[in-house]
Amino acid sequence: MGWVAVGDSYEVSLVDGKMAARSTGSRASGRPLKTLPKALRDDPEVDRLRQLSQWLDRHAAECLARVDAWVVSSLPVPTGLLARVWPDPAWQGALRDLVVLGDDPAEPGFLRDVTDTGDLRVVNLDGDTVRLSPVSATLPHPVRVPDLADLREFADELDITQRVEQLRRDTWVRPANLKDRDTTINDFHGNTVPNRLAARAATLGFRVSGSQVRCRVWEAGRTVEAVMWFDEDYWDPEATLGSLSWSVVDGPTLRLTEVGPVAWSEGIRMATALSGALTRMGEKA
């Protein structure tokens, strides 16, 4: 973004999304100043830029949240939509280097570019940049990523950093020895954590409703919600966790044996993130 003149001797702009000012005097170096001069803080132009900066921050957060939802639910995304949003730096930053699947689910690759016609340029496990032209693409949850270990190793070699947790997302495998009638996990029951659990849960991206923390996943054609109960008194320095269970939204509570691999992994991930404790209910992948 360009620099905007403010007053007689300054210009302001957004540099890396942050407010910056520089002097335009005869001895000015042209470099941004370390702090915004007090004389500019109430200037209308500075206020407009400040509001723009805040909007850009919210927009970037919304893009990350939307792409995270695509990854969690492994939803097919029309490549025409990817082509429309890719020029936006916020969308591109959220999408770049995610593992993507085209028409062949056994051929994953890292997304590097999207053309204006919706073609995808990806780097495959052979290190080749290939062009894919599917109608839709999937950004899979890591429990559904083929060759996950190889992709993690290759990502390290390429020094890839994903803005949305995918390859390095903590995943959990449902154990095989569950009882058919069980509907709850009590491994976390009674664990105490610092107060303001609701605020911390929201910061981690989970939904809070009353005394419940919730995490939704679209899986196998239905929306499944993991629910962690907690007891938190405003005056108490600690919150106490309760049971963890899963249910179909607007439907029945699921037996543990009925919970799908993604819903299971995301539910345990939520519970461990809130409690800071590990569980015996499944192996960490």
pLDDT digits (tens, 9 = 90+) for 101-155: 999 988 999 999 999 999 999 999 999 999 999 999 999 999 999 889 999 999 9
Does 165 reside within a domain?
A: no
Q: Are 59 and 70 in contact (CB under 8 A)?
A: no
Q: Do 127 and 116 lie in a common domain?
A: yes
Does 73 reside within a domain?
A: yes
Does 268 reside within a domain?
A: yes
Which of 60, 77, 98 is the C-terminal boundary of a domain? 60
Question: Is 4 strand, coil or helix?
Answer: strand
Q: Where are the alpha helices (DSSP H) in 178-257?
A: 197-203
Does 17 reside within a domain?
A: yes
Per-residue model confidence as pLDDT tens digits over 15-70 = 777 888 788 866 667 788 778 877 787 788 888 888 888 999 999 999 999 999 99
Does 166 reside within a domain?
A: no
Nearest to 266 by CA among 216, 230, 205, 201: 216
Q: How many domains does the chain have?
A: 3
Q: Do 144 and 187 lie in a common domain?
A: no
Which of 123, 158, 193 is the C-terminal boundary of a domain? 158
Q: Do 206 and 260 lie in a common domain?
A: yes
The domain that holds 248 is classified in CATH as 3.30.310
Q: Do 207 and 269 lie in a common domain?
A: yes
Note down the domain range covering 84.
62-158
Q: Which amino acid is at 140?
A: P
For the entire predicted model, the pTM comes to 0.82
Does 117 reside within a domain?
A: yes
